[in-house]
Structure 1
C-alpha cells in the first residue's frame, strides 16, 4: 500500500510524515473523525431507544412507533418467549432428574429396611432367606429383560405394519361411494356390496382378509374368524375347511353369492373390531359391539381407521359384551349386514 501524497510505501492511507507536515490534512481528517464519532453516538442512541421500546416488559402502547420498531418488538418478544421456553424445559428436565434421584433413594432406603428385616429373619432360617434373596434378584433381572424385549418387539411390529401398509397400497379417494382403495381396488362396504360385480366384491373381501391375517401374524395374535370358510352348500360340493381361494369357486347361483358375501362381511367386521381393540383404537372406558360400530363407520370406515391407527369416536353406547372373543353372537352381525345390504 502507498501513501496517497508522497507515494511512499506505507501500511496506512496517509503516512505519519505527511500528516505531521500537512496541518490542513490533519485538521480535515480530525473533523471527519469527530463527525463519524458523533454519527456513531447518534446511531447508538437510536438503537438503544429502539431496543428499549422492543424489550418493554410493561406492554405499554405507543402511537409514534414505526413499522420497523413494531416488527422488531414482535421479534424480540418471540426471542424472549423462546428463551423462557428453553429455561422452563431445562427446569423440567432438572426437576425430573431430581424426582428420579429421590425415587431411587427412596427405593434404596426401602431395600435397606428390607435387608435389616431380612438380617433379623436370617438368624432364624438363613438358608431359606438366602434362597429368597436370590429368587427376588432373578425375578428383577427377568422383569428388566422382559421390558427390553417388549420395547424391541413393539418397535419391530410398528415397522412391519408400516411396510405392510405400503405393500397393500391403502389410499383415500375423492369418491363418496368408494372412499378407500386397497391394492388399487375398492374397499367394499355395505353400501356398495350390491352395486359392484360379485367378482370384484369377492376379490376385495379376500384381499382385506389377507391384510388382517398378515397383520395378526405380525402382532402375534389370532383373529376370531381367521378363515373364509365357504357356506354349507359349498362344503357339500367337496370344498375343504381351509382359507377360501377365489379361483376354487366356479359357477354359483345368485342366492349362494349373496349368502357368501354376507357371511364374509360378518367375519371381516368382527375381525376388524377385534384388531381395533387389540391396537387400542376403541375407548377403553366405553362398551360397544360390532353391530353399533358397523352402523356408525361401515366396513370401509372400520378398515381405514384400523389402517390409520386412530381412536374411533363412538356415539352409540351399549351394554358390556364379549365381542373380543369368537363366542360373540355371529347371527346378530349376520342379520345386521343382511338388513344393510337390503336397504
Structure 2
C-alpha cells in the first residue's frame, strides 16, 4: 500500500509524517469521525426503540398468528374431508360397475350356445370376405386387361417426338385447344367420333353405366363436343378417385395445364393428376355444365372472355370469334 500524499510505501492509508505536516487533513478526519459517532448513537437509539415496541406487542401478534394457523388447519381438514367423500363415491361406482359386469358374465355363461353360434357366423363372414376380396381383385385385373385391350385396339398413343400433336387415337390426332385452329374440320370430326366411340365401349363393357354425354348427332357445335369430352373425362376421373368428390375443379386452369388431349389421355391411363386447382364445393363457382365448359374453351382459344358459344363461326377450317 502507498501513502496517498507522499506516495511512499506504508502499511497505512496515510503515513504519520503526512498527517502531522498537513493539519487540514487531520481536522477533516477528526470531524468525520465525530459525525460517524453521532450517527451511530442515533442508530442505536432507533434500534432500542424498535426492540422495546416489539416486546410490548408480541402477545397481540402471537394471538393473531394462532388464529390464522387455526383457520388454515380447518381449511386443510375440509379439503381432506371433501377428497375422502369423492374417493368413497368413486369406490361405490366401481363396485356397482363390477357387480353389473359380473351379472353380464353370468348371462354370457348361461348363453354359451349363442356365443358359439356368433363365433361360427363370424368365421363364415371372414371366409366370405376373403372370397369377395379375391373375386374383386380378379374383376379389377380383368377390367384393367379389357381397358388395355381397348387402348390397344383404338391405338391410344402418346407421341414423344411431336409437340404439336402429342396424342393420337386410331392414327387421328386427339382434338385440343392448340390444334383446333390448325387441323381441317373433317379430321377434327373424325377424331371426335373415335373419342366418343372409346367412351361408349368403355362405359358399356368396363363401367356398366352411362356417361353424362354421348355422340347423339354429328350436327352439334364442335366446341360443344369438346366440352362434352371434358365433362365425360372429369366424370371418369371422379369415379376412379383421380379427382376428389368433395372438390370442384378450376376448368380453365385444368385446360391450361393439360389441354383436352392431355387430360383425356391421363384419365384413360389412370395417371396421377398433379397441379390441379381444387376448390371446395361450398366455396366454388365452377359447375360441371356444358355451357361453362364451352366458355372456358372459347376463352383459351381466343384469349378473351366470351359469353356465348354462338359468337363463334367456322370459315376455311378456322375458328374465330365474331366481334
- Provide TM-score, normalisation by structure 2: 0.52
1:51 corresponds to which residue?
Answer: none
Q: In the TM superposition, what is the alpha-carbon distance from 1:164 to its structure 2 partner?
A: 1.2
Structure 1 counterpart of 2:132: 146
Pairing partner for 1:193 from 180, 201, 208: 180
For the residues of structure 2 that align with 1:136 and 1:291, how far apart are their CA atoms?
Answer: 52
Instruction: Give CA deviations for 1:131-179 in whole Å, capped at 9, x if unaligned.
Output: 5344333322221111010111111112111111111112233333211
Looking at structure 2, the residues matched to 262 and 227 of structure 1 have their Cα atoms a distance apart, in angstroms, of: 14
The answer to whether structure 1 residue 215 and structure 2 residue 202 are counterparts is yes
Quote the offset at 1:285 in angstroms: 9.6
1:334 maps to: 294
Match of 1:309 in 2: 270
1:221 Cα deviation from its structure 2 partner: 4.7
Task: Check 1:119–1:142 CA distance in 2 against 1; reply closer, same or farther (3 A cut).
Answer: farther
Match of 2:52 in 1: none
1:181 alignment partner, SS class: strand
Q: Which residue of 1 aligns with 2:78?
A: none
Residue 123 (structure 2) aligns with: 137
Q: Structure 1 321/334 Cα, relative in aligned 2: closer, same or farther at 3 Å?
A: farther
Q: Which structure has the greater CA radius of gyration?
A: 2
Which consecutive unaligned segments of at least 5 residues does structure 2 have? 1-102, 304-323
Equivalenced residues, count:
198
Structure 1 unmatched runs, 5+: 1-116, 230-243, 247-256
Cα shift at 1:329: 3.2
Q: How does 1:134-283 map to 2 (within 5 A)?
A: 134-173=120-159, 174-229=161-216, 244=217, 246=218, 260-282=221-243
TM-score, normalised by the number of residues in structure 1: 0.49
- State the Cα distance separating 1:262 from its structure 2 match: 1.6
Distance 2:254 2:107 in 1: 58
Question: Given the superposition, is the C-alpha separation of residues 209 and 135 from structure 1 closer, same or farther in structure 2, using an over 3 Å criterion?
Answer: same
Alignment-derived partner of residue 108 in structure 1: none
Q: Aligned partners of 1:125, 1:322: CA distance in 2, in Å?
A: 55
Q: CA deviation at 1:299?
A: 0.5
Shift in Å, 1:340: 2.7
